Amino acid sequence: MKKNFYIDYPQEHFEGQAHRYRCAFCKQETTKINGRLEGHLPDCEYRVLLEKAGFECNTSKFRPNLDTTDEED
C-alpha cells in the first residue's frame, strides 16, 4: 500500500519556536520529513509500524535538495 502523504504521526513543538514541529518518535523536523515515510529515521516507531502494516516508502526519483533551498547565489 502507498499513501501520497504520511502526516498522521504524533508531533511535538520545538520550545521557543512559533511554527517548528518534529516527529515525537524520531525527532526529525517536519520540514525534513515533508510528508514522506522515508523522511523519518529508519528506526522510527511510526515508520516501522507503517512498514509492518504494508505501507511503502515513496521512492520518487525526483527529490528536491531541501538543504539549499534558502541559500542565495
Question: Quick check: 20 and 12 in contact, CB under 8 A?
Answer: no
% pLDDT > 70, the chain = 79
Enumerate residues 6+ apart whose C-beta is below 8 A from 60.
none
Query: What is the chain's mean pLDDT, rounded?
Result: 86
pLDDT at 12: 95
C-alpha cell at 18: 512559533
Q: How many CB atoms lie within 10 A of CB 39?
A: 22
The three grid cell numbers given for residue 4, joined into one nine-digit string: 501520497
* pTM assigned to the model: 0.74
